[in-house]
Amino acid sequence: MAWKLRVLLAWVAVALSMPVAAQVDPVRDDAGRRDSIDAPIASWRAAFRQAGEKEGLASFRKLLTEASARDEDDPTFMAFRATAEVMTAGRRWNPLAKLIGFRKWTKRLDRQVEIEPGNADIRLLRLAVRANAPSFLGYNKGIEEDCSVVGEALRSNFWSSDPSHVAVASTVLESVEACR
């Protein structure tokens, strides 16, 4: 819960310091080149940043469950969707439903990492999930690799056109003991 507050505070601080202007996010294409992207990933990132709030999580999940069939083939989309579902599972009252939802969607998140192991957005999402998963679930094993990919993305200014997302990535990275 504390990481959500830190993420929210970091996002608010960055948002207040930003000029009001449209920004284009960078993403790497299949050849590993940077390219400008369309609005969907920017909206997924923005929704993720708001997901720490109860209403923000509902909006995050709704955005991703109403996506087109075209997005179902996109590993980045599926990683955002899996993250939204894992976060939703964590809010269920039934412990068995929590566990079933967690296992189902973390498997899907892991599959997206297998498909695109160098995708910084996917690794950041999995790092955030792993950092907040209860240790008895054992999902925090191998967290160092996610730390490494996210740290390299920050050093290479991967999210440079999205200062809000840089702040979130930095906060998540700093909050994970294994990443220090």
119: alpha, beta or left? (left if phi > 0; alpha if psi -120 to 50): beta
Nearest to 140 by CA among 148, 128, 151: 128
The SS3 call for residue 86 is helix
- The answer to pTM > 0.75 is yes
Percentage of the chain beyond pLDDT 70 is: 77
Structure confidence by residue, pLDDT tens digits, 114-152: 999 999 999 999 999 999 999 999 999 889 999 999 999
Output the average pLDDT for the chain.
81
The SS3 call for residue 26 is strand
Q: How many CB atoms lie within 10 A of CB 52?
A: 20
Local confidence band at 47 (pLDDT 50, 70, 90 cut-offs) = very high
The answer to whether 24 and 36 have CB atoms below 8 angstroms apart is: yes
pLDDT reading at 34 higher than 70: no
Helices in 90-180 by DSSP H: which ranges? 95-115, 120-132, 143-155, 163-175
Segment (H or E) for 65: helix 54-65
pLDDT reading at 88 higher than 80: yes
Range scoring the smallest mean pLDDT among 17-21, 135-139, 165-169: 17-21
